Amino acid sequence: MSRRKVLFYVHHLYYLPQFLPVARALTDEDGFEVWFTAPRSGNALDYKLIESVIRATDWQFLSARNEKERRQAILKRNFAVTVFGKSSHIEKLCTPDTLAVLLYHGIGFKACYYTDYNPRFDVRYVESDYRQTELQRRGIPTPTVVTGFPKLDLLFDRSLKEEYENKLRLVEAKPTVLYAPTFYPSSIEVFGEQVARQTADCNLIIKLHHFAWLMPKYRHQARLCRSLAENYAHVRIAEVNDYNIIPFFQLSDLLLTEASSTAIEYLATGQPVILADFVKLRWKHRLFRRRFENQRMDNVIRQELDFAWHCTQPGDLKSVIHQALTRRESMRPLELEKRQRLLGVVDGSAAHRVAADLKARLNHR
C-alpha cells in the first residue's frame, strides 16, 4: 500500500516548533510520507532557514522557482493531508481530496485566533476545552479536537536543554530570567538598558520574536539586545536561527514577557511569569488605544492573566523578580488551575493525539 503524503505548510520559521512534533509522530506511524514547504514570496532569510532545518532531516522539502510553480507542484502531488498554521488562501493549496488541517501556530492573545477562519478547513486541533468552547461560542463551525499543544511536547525532551546549556554557559549559582518580548507592542523600547541593569544578579536570556530579526521596522530591537549581550556579562541573546523557545523554557527559572502567547505556554513549566505592563505604541495607537486593543487583542483571554506577577515600570523589575522567586508558592494553586484550563493536558503526547486523529479520519474517508 502506498504511503499517504502529508504536507506541513510553514509560513514562518517560528511555526516549526508546533509542527515538528506532529511530523515526528506521523513518521512513527506506518504509512505516512512527510513533506514541508514554505512560501517563496515571504522573507528570503526566513525561507532559507526553514529550508535548511528541513533538509537536515529525513523529511522532504517541496521547493520551486516561484509561487506559481510551487502551488502547481502542491496540487499535482494531491496530498492526503495539508497542515496549516493559519488560514491564508488554503483553498488554492488543497485539492478536493485533501484533508485540510488548522494547527494554529500559537496559543493566541490576538483577536486573529478567532477571526483567522476559512470554511475549507476540515478539522482544527486546539490545546484545551476552553479554546474549543470559545470557538463554538463565537459560531466558528470548523470541527475541533482537543489534543493539547504539540509545541510543549518538547519540554519532555532533555537533549535540547543539554545542547543549550553547553552553548550559553550560564552561571549555575544564579537564577535565570528568560525575557521573551513580542515584536509589537513591545516592552523592549521602554526597558532599554534597564532590563540588563535590573537583572544583574541573574542570568538573563533574551529570546526575541522572529520578526525582530526579519522586519526592518523591528530590527532596532535586535540591535539593542545584541548590544546588551556584548556589554553585560550576564546577558545572552538567542540568535535568529534559535527558532525554538522550548530549550530556553527548560533553562530558565522565570519568564519576563508582555501579554503574549508565551506567558500561557510557560505555565507548562511550573515556573513564575512576570508581565511588563508598559509597551511602546505608535502615535496613532496611543491616540486610539482602546480601539487598538479591542481590535487587535483577545480581551477575554487577557482576563486570565491573574496568575502572573506584574512589573509596572522598568525600575521595579529587580524587586518583582525577587518577589516572584521567593513568594512563588503563593501563586502556585492559581498557576495549576490556569495551566489545566488554558493548556489542557501537558504530557508530551499532544502530537501523537493529533497523529492518531488524522489517521482515523483518513481511514474513514
- Residue range 222-233, pLDDT digits in tens: 999 999 999 999
pLDDT band at 299 (very low <50, low <70, confident <90, very high): low
- Every domain of the chain and the residues it spans: 4-149+346-363, 159-343
Please report, for residues 19, 150, 263, 350, the alpha-carbon distance to residue 353 in angstroms, rounded to integers and kept in the order given.
13, 9, 24, 5
pLDDT at 298: 58
CB atoms within 10 A of CB 159: 8
pLDDT at 290: 64
Helix axes 16-28 and 350-363, enclosed angle (nearest 10): 60
pLDDT at 111: 62
Class of domain 159-343: alpha beta
pLDDT at 297: 56
Q: With respect to CATH, is domain 4-149+346-363 assigned 3.40.190.10? A: no
How much of the chain exceeds pLDDT 70, in percent? Answer: 92
| pLDDT(235) > 90 | yes
Pick the range with the lowest mean pLDDT from 4-13, 109-118, 190-199, 212-221. 109-118
DSSP H/E element including 8: strand 4-9
pLDDT at 43: 86
| pLDDT(183) > 90 | no
Q: Are 153 and 348 in contact (CB under 8 A)?
A: yes
Residues 110-114: contacts with CB within 8 Å, 24+ apart? Answer: 110/296, 110/297, 110/298, 111/295, 111/296, 111/297, 111/298, 112/86, 113/298, 114/138, 114/140, 114/298
pLDDT at 110: 61
The reply to whether domains 4-149+346-363 and 159-343 share a CATH topology is: yes
Average pLDDT score over residue span 274-297: 65
pLDDT band at 41 (very low <50, low <70, confident <90, very high): confident
Q: Are 304 and 341 in contact (CB under 8 A)?
A: yes
Q: Output the average pLDDT for the chain.
A: 90
Q: Model confidence over 48-68: pLDDT tens digits? A: 999 999 999 999 999 998 999
| pLDDT(296) > 70 | no
